Amino acid sequence: MEEQKIKKDFKLTLEIVKELWTKTYSTDGKPDWSHILPYYDDDIYFRDSIQEIKGIDEFKKMTERLTKRSKDLNMKLVKVVQNGNDIFLEWEMTISYKKYPSSKLYGLSRLTTNDKGKIIEQRDYYDLWGDIFDNIPYWGKQYRKFMKRKFG
Residue 122, domain CATH: 3.10.450.50
- Asked whether residue 7 is domain-assigned, the answer is no
- Asked whether residue 4 is domain-assigned, the answer is no
Q: What residues of the chain score a pLDDT lower than 70?
A: 1-8, 25-30, 98-101, 131-132, 140, 147-148, 150-152
- Domain with 134, as residue range(s), is 14-151
Name the DSSP class of 39: G
Count of the separate structural domains present in the chain: 1
- Asked whether residue 8 is domain-assigned, the answer is no
Element (H, E) at 19: helix 14-24
- Asked whether residue 98 is domain-assigned, the answer is yes
41 and 114 Cβ atoms separated by less than 8 Å: yes
Task: Report angle CA 65, 100, 76 to the nearest 5 degrees.
Answer: 65
State the Rg of the chain over Cα. Answer: 18
- Asked whether residue 9 is domain-assigned, the answer is no
Is 0.75 topped by the overall pTM? Answer: yes
Give the model's pLDDT for residue 6: 44
- Asked whether residue 33 is domain-assigned, the answer is yes
91 and 76 Cβ atoms separated by less than 8 Å: yes
| pLDDT tens-place string over residues 64-98 | 888 777 777 778 899 999 999 999 999 998 877 76
- Asked whether residue 5 is domain-assigned, the answer is no
- Asked whether residue 120 is domain-assigned, the answer is yes
